[in-house]
C-alpha cells in the first residue's frame, strides 16, 4: 500500500526540533515516498512511451521503477513532510534510489527516522549534538539498502 500524505503528521520530536510521525501502523517494506515530477507519476503504458520515444525528462533525470510506479526526477520529493525526518542510528526507514521505505514495522504515532550517514555526501561531516555523522560512500549505501530491501521482500 502506498502511504498517503494524511498518514503523516509533524509534531515536536524527542530527537530534534520537529519530527515526522505516522498516523497508522506501517509494515516493513512499505514504500512511504517516491520521487515525483510536478506531483505526477507514470503508469505502465506511459513508462514504455517515455523509455522508447526518448522522453527528455527521463533521459536527463534518471528513471526509477518501483512496484507499478515509474517516476522520473532527481532531488524532488513527494511531500514537504520529508523535511522533518530526523536522524537515528536505529532508523526505521531508508532511502533507496530516491524511494523511502520502512525497514521495520512502525507502530502508529512513532517518529519516522533515517540514518543521515546514508544521505550525506561521502566524507561530509555533520555534528548533531554529541553525534558526529559522516556521510558514507554512495556505492556502499546503495549496496546496503539494496540488501536490506532484498531481505525484506524475499521473506515475504
% of the chain residues with pLDDT over 70: 65
Q: Name the least confident of 63-67, 83-87, 115-119.
A: 63-67
Sequence-distant (6+) residues with CB within 8 A of 78 are: 5, 33, 34, 35, 36
Distance CA 18, CA 132 (A): 20
- Per-residue pLDDT for 36 more than 90? no
Q: What grid cell was written down for 148?
A: 536490506
Check: CB of residue 117 under 8 Å from CB of residue 94: no
Q: Higher-confidence residue: 121 or 56?
A: 121
Give exposure, 85-119, as e/b (b: 16+ Cβ within 10 Å). Answer: bbbbeebbbbbbbbbbbbbbebeeeebbbbbbbbb
- Average of per-residue pLDDT values in the chain: 76
* 44-53 per-position pLDDT tens digit: 455 545 554 5
Question: How many other CB atoms are found less than 10 A from the CB of residue 78?
Answer: 21
pLDDT of the residue at 32: 85
Fold of 5-115: Beta-clip-like (2.170.270)
Of the listed ranges 32-36, 67-71, 76-80, 84-88, the least confidently predicted one is: 76-80
Average pLDDT over residues 97-106: 89
Residue 155: predicted pLDDT: 67
Rounded CA separation 43/68 (Å)? 7
Whether residue 2 has pLDDT greater than 60: no
Can you give the pLDDT at residue 114? 92
Number of other CB atoms surrounding residue 56 within 10 Å: 8
First to last CA, the chain: 15
Higher-pLDDT residue of 7 and 105 is 105
Range name among 37-46, 93-102, 142-151 with the lowest pLDDT average:
37-46
For the four alpha carbons of 82, 126, 96 and 150, in that order, the dihedral sign comes to negative
User: With 60 as the cut, is the pLDDT of residue 129 above it?
Assistant: yes
Could you tell me the residue ranges of all domains in the chain?
Answer: 5-115
Amino acid at each position: 500500500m502506498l502511504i498517503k500524505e494524511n498518514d503523516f503528521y509533524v509534531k515536536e520530536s524527542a530527537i530534534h526540533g520537529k519530527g515526522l510521525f505516522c498516523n497508522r501502523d506501517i509494515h516493513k517494506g512499505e514504500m512511504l515516498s517516491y520521487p515525483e515530477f510536478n506531483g505526477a507519476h507514470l503508469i505502465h503504458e506511459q513508462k514504455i512511451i517515455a523509455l522508447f520515444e526518448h522522453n527528455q525528462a527521463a533521459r536527463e533525470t534518471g528513471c526509477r521503477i518501483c512496484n507499478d510506479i515509474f517516476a522520473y526526477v532527481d532531488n524532488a520529493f513527494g511531500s514537504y513532510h520529508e523535511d522533518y525526518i530526523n536522524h537515528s542510528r536505529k532508523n526505521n526507514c531508508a532511502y533507496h534510489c530516491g524511494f523511502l521505505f520502512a525497514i521495520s514495522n512502525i507502530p502508529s504515532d512513532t517518529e519516522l527516522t533515517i540514518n543521515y550517514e546514508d544521505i550525506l555526501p561521502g566524507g561530509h561531516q555533520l555534528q548533531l549534538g554529541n553525534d558526529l555523522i559522516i556521510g558514507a560512500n554512495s556505492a556502499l549505501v546503495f549496496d546496503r539498502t539494496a540488501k536490506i530491501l532484498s531481505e525484506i521482500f524475499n521473506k515475504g
